[in-house]
Structure 1
Amino acid sequence: MIQPADAQARRAIKPVICYPVETLPAPDMPLYQAARESLTKQGEVLVPAREARCFSVPAGCFFRISSIEGPQVGDLNLFNAHDLSERFYSGKTRALHGTHITTGQRMWSSFPHLRPMATITHDTLGWYGIDAFGGSVHDVIGTRCDPYTHALLSGGGQYHHCCHSNLTRSLADHLGVSRRKAEPHVHDVLNVFMCTGFTRDTGQYFMKASPVRPGDYLEFFAEIELLGNLSACPGGDCSSEHSSDTAACYPLLVEVFAPEAATLTHWNPPVANQYDRTHGI
Structure 2
Amino acid sequence: MSHQPPEDAAARRAIPPVICYPNETLPRPDMALYAAALATAEVTQTLLAPPREAAAFRVPAGHFFRIRSVDGPQVGDLNLWNASDLSERFYSGKTRALHGTHVSTGERLWSCLPYLRPMATIVDDSLDWYGIDAFGGSVHDVIGTRCDPYTGNLLAGTQYHHCCHSNLTRALSEATGLAPAEAEAHVHDVLNVFMCTGFTRDTGQYFMKASPVRPGDQLTFLAEIDLLGAISACPGGDCSSEHSSDEAACHPLAIDILVPVADALSGWQSPSVNGYDRSHGLKS
Structure-1-length-normalised TM-score: 0.99
- Offset of residue 175 of structure 1: 1.2
CA distance in 2: counterparts of 1:236 and 1:5, whole angstroms: 49
CA distance in 2: counterparts of 1:118 and 1:277, whole angstroms: 24
Tell me the alpha carbon deviations over residues 147-171 of structure 1, each in whole angstroms, 9 at most, x when there is no partner: 01111101x3211110000001111
Tell me the alpha carbon deviations over residues 225-251 of structure 1, each in whole angstroms, 9 at most, x when there is no partner: 100010000000000001010100000
Aligned structure 1 segments of 4 or more residues deviating by more than 6 angstroms: none
Residue aligned with 1:103, SS: coil
Question: Which residue of structure 1 lines up, in the alignment, with residue 207 of structure 2?
Answer: 206
Aligned partner of 2:108 among 86, 95, 106 = 106
1:31 paired with 2:27, answer: no
Matching of residues 50-61 of structure 1 within 5 Å: 50-61=52-63
Instruction: Give the letter for the 1:178 counterpart.
Output: A
RMSD over aligned CA atoms reads 0.6
Tell me the alpha carbon deviations over residues 19-72 of structure 1, each in whole angstroms, 9 at most, x when there is no partner: 111110011101101111211111111110000010000100000000010000
CA distance in 1: counterparts of 2:175 and 2:254, whole angstroms: 18
CA distance in 1: counterparts of 2:39 and 2:183, whole angstroms: 38
Question: Which residue of structure 2 lines up, in the alignment, with residue 83 of structure 1?
Answer: 85
Question: Which residue of structure 2 lines up, in the alignment, with residue 261 of structure 1?
Answer: 262
What stretches of structure 2 of length at least 5 have no aligned partner?
none
Residue aligned with 2:195, SS: strand
- Offset of residue 117 of structure 1: 0.2
Structure-2-length-normalised TM-score: 0.98
What stretches of structure 1 of length at least 5 have no aligned partner?
none
Question: Which residue of structure 2 lines up, in the alignment, with residue 134 of structure 1?
Answer: 136
Question: Which residue of structure 2 lines up, in the alignment, with residue 165 of structure 1?
Answer: 166
Tell me the alpha carbon deviations over residues 50-96 of structure 1, each in whole angstroms, 9 at most, x when there is no partner: 00010000100000000010000000000000100000000000000
Percent identity of the aligned residues? 70
CA distance in 1: counterparts of 2:174 and 2:270, whole angstroms: 29
Question: Which residue of structure 1 lines up, in the alignment, with residue 97 of structure 2?
Answer: 95
CA distance in 1: counterparts of 2:262 and 2:109, whole angstroms: 23
Count matched residues.
280
